[in-house]
Amino acid sequence: MSDSSHPRRPTAPKNSSMTVEQLEQASDATLVVSIGRYHEDALAEVYRRHAGAVFALSRRLLADRTLAEEIVQEVFLRLWNDPDRFDPQRGSLRSYLLAQCHGRSVDLIRSESSRRRREEKELTLAAEAGYDLEHEVWDLAVSDRVKGALRELPEGEREAILLAYFGGHTYREVADLLDTPEGTVKSRIRSGLKRMRGDLVAVGIGGE
């Protein structure tokens, strides 16, 4: 992890529309509208808020700092080039950015190393199928509530979600890894996500 704690606020943008205070108080959706009007300061503020999470996810998935940085760059440039793709009715900006990041990272994983992965399946099984991956989530997740919700899941659901999301595996690969029918894995991922959401909403997180 990096030394100098905080992401610095990017330097003063030339195309500025809001004061620093207004920027800090603006909602994510407002910032995206502003990005649509080519205001770099709005992009800078979105970056300040979310780049850390995007970076952490891509680095975890790719296990490669340089590739992860490229993904961060790509995700934010994409937001700049095509802000209309983000629909605030469809969820938060952070989940949108993380979904973009996850999709691109997984594409990379699958394109560059699919063959190697298959060869190393045995090893992968040993390394990822159980405790380690889960442990990593415990370490990194900031919210006790999220950890709690994950902990509450039936083991099969938890395993399937972690392998798919952090392992970058398709549900078919997960089924293979866990020696479980594909249909079961598919359902478990879905029901696990629903269950987690229910638990989190119940404690006041992610409801809206």
Nearer to another protein, 129 or 137 (CB): 137
Q: Which is nearer to another protein, 123 or 140 (CB)?
A: 140
Do 164 and 170 contact (CB within 8 A), yes or no? yes
48 Cβ contact partners less than 8 Å away, ≥ 6 residues apart: 7, 9, 10
Phi-psi bin for 4: left (phi > 0), alpha (psi -120 to 50), beta?
beta
With tokens 């969820």, the residue in question is 91
Tell me whether residue 87 or residue 119 sits nearer to another protein (CB atom). Answer: 87
- How far CA 178 is from CA of 40, 70, 149, 168, 208, in Å, comes to 46, 32, 22, 15, 35
To another protein, the closest distance from the beta carbon of 99 in angstroms equals: 5
Q: Minimum Å distance from CB 201 to another protein?
A: 9
Nearest distance from C-beta of residue 196 to another protein, angstroms: 5
Between 31 and 168, name the residue whose CB sits nearer to another protein.
168
Nearer to another protein, 65 or 118 (CB): 65
Tokens of 112: 């560059």
User: Rg of the chain's alpha carbons, rounded to an integer?
Assistant: 19
What lies within 8 Å, CB to CB, of 159 at 6+ separation is: 129, 130, 134, 174, 178
CB of residue 90 to another protein, shortest distance in Å: 5
Closest approach, Cβ 120 to another protein, in A, equals: 19
Least separation in angstroms between CB 165 and another protein: 5
CA distance 32 to 54: 17
Closer to another protein at the Cβ: 72 or 129? 72
Contact 53, 94 (CB under 8 A): yes
